[in-house]
Amino acid sequence: MSFPPYPPVRYEGENGEANVALRRADAAPEVTYASGVTVDYLATGASTGGDFGLYRWTFGPGESGPGPHFHRTITESFYVLTGAVSLYNGTEWIEAGVGDFLHVPPGGVHGFKNVLGEPASMLLMFTPGAPREDYFETLAAVSKGLELNEEERAAFYLRHDNHWA
């Protein structure tokens, strides 16, 4: 069996460095939506040198989440940590539970919702590490009353590589 080669060397030092980052589980979330959804920035594209972005998404008690959409420049992956989440796999909504994983390549139509009204959380990973923080923060502001006109909304979604299916 042959395996693909490792990526090119990115660290040339001899002994390694003390440059790791720890985010404690009890750290406050960076974003809170009016619905009670919270987003924890575990690793941003900026903090990983653009390799990936990893976020913990904790649903509020009501239904929330985007409908079917796709991205042209990034992959998105979902890993359910707690509860149950409805994931759109491009053809239908499926219920995913603890430990379930869904990977969406560029162009893959997907969506997610908490329609059960029960607590749920999941990890969202984007590769490469796009700057999703402005996306989350602006949507949270919209949920709290910020108004975007049709032109502003279209530009916002285009800037963040969100295309509705």
pLDDT digits (tens, 9 = 90+) for 117-142: 788 999 999 999 999 999 999 999 99
pLDDT bracket for residue 150 (50, 70, 90): very high
Helix (H/G/I), strand (E/B), else coil: 134: helix
Q: Please report the pLDDT score of residue 1 as a whole number.
A: 87
Residue ranges and CATH numbers for the domains of the chain are 31-164 (2.60.120.10)
Question: What integer best gives the mean pLDDT of the chain?
Answer: 95
What pLDDT score does 119 carry?
Answer: 87
**What is the predicted pLDDT for the residue at 36?**
93
Sequence-ordered list of residues with C-beta below 8 angstroms from that of 142, at least 6 positions apart, any chain: 148
Would you state the structure tokens that stand for residue 70, as one six-digit string? 């796709």
- The C-alpha atoms of residue 114 and residue 101 are separated, in whole angstroms, by 16
Quick check: 25 pLDDT over 90? yes
Q: Tell me the average pLDDT across 20-42.
A: 96
The CB-side HSE value for 91 (13 A sphere, CA atoms) comes to 0
Share of the chain above pLDDT 90, in %: 91
Residue 115 is predicted with a pLDDT of: 73
Checking phi first, is residue 14 left (phi over 0); if not, alpha (psi -120 to 50) or beta?
A: alpha
pLDDT digits (tens, 9 = 90+) for 47-94: 999 999 999 999 988 888 999 999 999 999 999 999 999 999 999 999
Are the beta carbons of 64 and 113 closer than 8 angstroms? yes
DSSP letter (8 states) at residue 110: B
What pLDDT is stored for residue 62 in this prediction?
A: 82
Q: What is the pLDDT of residue 23?
A: 96
Q: What is the DSSP string of 51-65?
A: S-EEEEEE--SS---
